[in-house]
Chains A and B, each alone.
Chain A
Amino acid sequence: MIKSYSLRRKVANAIVYTVLTIMGIIWILPIVYLIINSFDAATGAYHSYIIPPEFTFDNYVRLFTETDQFNYPKWFMNTFIIAIISCVLSTLYVLMVSYTFSRLRFKSRKLLMNISMILGMFPGFMTMIAVYYLLKTIGLTQPSTQHVALVLVYSGGAGLGYFISKGFFDTIPRSLDEAATIDGATKNQIFWKIILPMSKPIIVYTVLTSFISPWVDYIFVSIIVRDQYDNYTVAIGLKKMLEREFISRYWTRFCAGAVIVSIPITILFCCMQKYYVSGVTAGGVKG
């Protein structure tokens, strides 16, 4: 009996290992394919082989040196600067709003929270055309000012995304605030000196998510930047490379560019996955 039990268990484990291996291969294959293709010596997107006969580092070099049509290094810098600025702004907005709703009690609090919940349920880019014309009238769609517009768009609505970090602030005991108030601290001081230093996880989470979003958005970029290739961000630029007239020349460079963008974002994501899970489950799971 005992023998057959351990045998059964071994068989079960063997099945699980097989399934995991097959799944692992299926899941990792596209990424391997991307990396292989970024080293493919032949250009053009469609070949009759899977593994290229000849490898080269050339695609990466040309991505950074041949910048006359698609200026990848510039796109990278554009995205980086936009991401930094909008990340600082949105993190501030989110922390301010979530602290207010979590800690301070005032008359219109419930009303404001309900309004922001309702606003969050409209499809995000339904407003894109109106946003574009608003930006145009204040002169922010000129080639020289498009990046300011992008920063404003990415950080503008950030205050509505307070839900997760409010959930975090809610778990910090209120007695801390009360003790500080008795000691004569103002609410301003409590915010900066007591709550924020205790909120490292949620600050990291907010910073990372808002840093990543400009890297992966192409909807608003395509609306605002349109045909100014030099002002593109990485996401829309890479998408452009795959359009019909460019794909045969740029496919391998697309792969190289995609690998370069993916590395930092993958690392960031892996670093924050712990916070990410607790963030998602905090709002959406009951214990």
Chain B
Amino acid sequence: MNYIDYVSLNPFQRFLRKIVGFFINLPRNVGNLFKKIGRGIVSFFKWIVDGVKDYFSRFSKGDSFTKLSYIIMGTSSIARGQLLKGFLFFFTEVAYFVYMISFGMKWLSQFDTLGDTETYKYVPEGSWKEETVQGDNSMFILLFGVLTIIITVVFFALYIGNTKSAYKTQLLVESGKKLETSKEMIHNLLDKNFHTTLLTIPTLMVCAFTIIPLVFMILIAFTNYDIEHQPPGKLFTWVGFDNFSDVFFGSGKKSKTFFKLLEWTIVWAIFATFVNYILGMVLALMINKKGIKLKAFWRTLFVITIAVPNFVTLLLMSQMLNEYGAINVLLQNLGITDHNILFLTDPGGLIPKITVIVVNCWIGIPYTMLITSGILMNIPEELYESAKIDGAGPVRTFVSITLPYMLFVTTPYLITQFVGNINNFNVIYLLTGGGPNTQEYYNGAGKTDLLVTWLYKLTNDTSDFNLASTIGILIFIICSALSLITFNSTKSAKNEEEFS
């Protein structure tokens, strides 16, 4: 189909084509993805081989100062007058070795077993008092092991940079060019190398508060760190992919809970995303309808409900929907029911599930209204005019024009919302706390728990850290797969340079 044919389609057909096209192209896209990954791996190895080759060729061509820089960092720069740069390299090396000898080596050497002596008690001879001997603490070994490995990687990169710089300075001196002085180096940090200056602190912070904890937690998924292996006192150790096979193929409660919660998470995400999306648009259309007065008033009224902090409204709702809460009182006063409805705790699980979806509508509809209002106003007026001439009513117009158009324009937003709802912690946790709990599920998981709230409970309440990390990785895989597909299918990621 060429471009002319495509343009002549109506938006609904375009959207259908897109969906069909997506599934037709899926195998090829997945294939391309693997090809890309494969190519990435190949070029990575090539990069390493080239790096090693360069490393030795620089060494053989270098003079004595350059060669010395391979052992004592910064020598080449210091000997040729770049004092600041040279000493920075030198002190990095000193600091690294001091760190490794005083701290790092100890943890790294135990990294393969995560410790072998448990804490034990014994009674020394000639004494009646029991003494405790502190054993290894697997958690600290893992945590500081990760820290040490990351520091080592950074140091290694600096070391390679040092050898490159050493050889470069040598070449510059040999060809009689002027070297960058310390003053110029600082000036360049504000100009040519400004990115280094700007990125250093944020990167360090992200390393400390995101990357190190994340690597630690990912590694936890490959250990048996659960309630029965709690340091200090007990050791935990590597178990390979056991946790994953437990979750996927195990016959116990873990696997059953996982699949049940996964199913509910997806049902929840679909409802929470699409019901909000459609009703929010209907609300926006109603407010913006011609002839409706006080538009600003209606808008503000609904915006206020999302402006009030989420946790306040949700906690409030959880009280109102309580067995003895305001909603039940209201319903009984109006004579609609005569018994208390267990909105949040009904043991069947169906009523709480419906309740959380409805409450989420309360939060999500004004939000969609706010976001989509502007885009709705951009739908070409002719489309509506011609629909009116053809005698289409408001419902027909919405289904045949507004919805397809909006779906077409806001697909990326929808996917972001979908991913956001898979990770929607607040609504579930503050309303039902995942309840009603059931014996059928593993350790404290309830019927309205999403995978994320289960993850939270596993880390916080039941200390099943290994299972929690496994779930976290699986959530990551689901979300990144979804996002990857969208980012590949939209052009916005590729057109980044358009404005610059």
* A and B together in one complex: yes
CB interface residues, A 169-184, toward B, < 8 Å:
170-171, 173-174
Nearest CB of B to A2, in Å = 15
Give the residue name and chain of the B residue nearest to A247 (CB).
B319
Give the residue name and chain of the B residue nearest to A128 (CB).
B459
Nearest CB of B to A187, in Å = 4
Give the residue name and chain of the B residue nearest to A119 (CB).
B210
A148 at interface (Cβ–Cβ under 8 A)?
no
Nearest CB of B to A16, in Å = 5
Q: Are B375 and A285 in contact (CB under 8 A)?
A: yes
Q: Are A251 and B319 in contact (CB under 8 A)?
A: yes
Most A C-beta atoms less than 10 A away, residue of B143, B198, B394, B490 = B198
B155 at interface (Cβ–Cβ under 8 A)?
no
Give the residue name and chain of the B residue nearest to A171 (CB).
B499
* Interchain CB contact (< 8 A) of B410 among A96, A99, A137, A284: A284
CB interface residues, B 287-338, toward A, < 8 Å:
287, 289, 291-292, 298, 300-313, 315-320, 322, 324-326, 329-330, 333
Q: Are B496 and A20 in contact (CB under 8 A)?
A: no
Q: Are A119 and B143 in contact (CB under 8 A)?
A: no
A93-B413 contact given A30-B313, A34-B316, CB 8 Å threshold: no
Q: Which residues of B contact A100 (CB under 8 A)?
A: 194-195, 198-199
Cα distance, A116 to B312, chains bound together (Å): 31
Binds A, one of B8-16, B166-174, B249-257, B476-484: B476-484
* Interchain CB contact (< 8 A) of B190 among A20, A48, A186, A276: A186
Q: Are B305 and A188 in contact (CB under 8 A)?
A: no
Q: How many A-B residue pairs have CB under 8 A?
A: 258
* Interchain CB contact (< 8 A) of A27 among B202, B324, B366, B459: B366
Cα distance, A47 to B330, chains bound together (Å): 11
Q: Are A93 and B191 in contact (CB under 8 A)?
A: no
Q: Which residues of A contact B392 (CB under 8 A)?
A: none
Give the residue name and chain of the A residue nearest to B468 (CB).
A126
Cα distance, A17 to B291, chains bound together (Å): 10
B442 at interface (Cβ–Cβ under 8 A)?
no
Nearest CB of A to B406, in Å = 10
Nearest CB of B to A77, in Å = 18
A28-B412 contact given A96-B199, A216-B311, A262-B309, CB 8 Å threshold: no
A202 at interface (Cβ–Cβ under 8 A)?
no
Q: Are A93 and B201 in contact (CB under 8 A)?
A: yes
Q: Are B319 and A242 in contact (CB under 8 A)?
A: yes
Q: Are A127 and B217 in contact (CB under 8 A)?
A: yes
Q: Are B476 and A121 in contact (CB under 8 A)?
A: yes
A16-B500 contact given A125-B425, A130-B216, A277-B374, CB 8 Å threshold: no
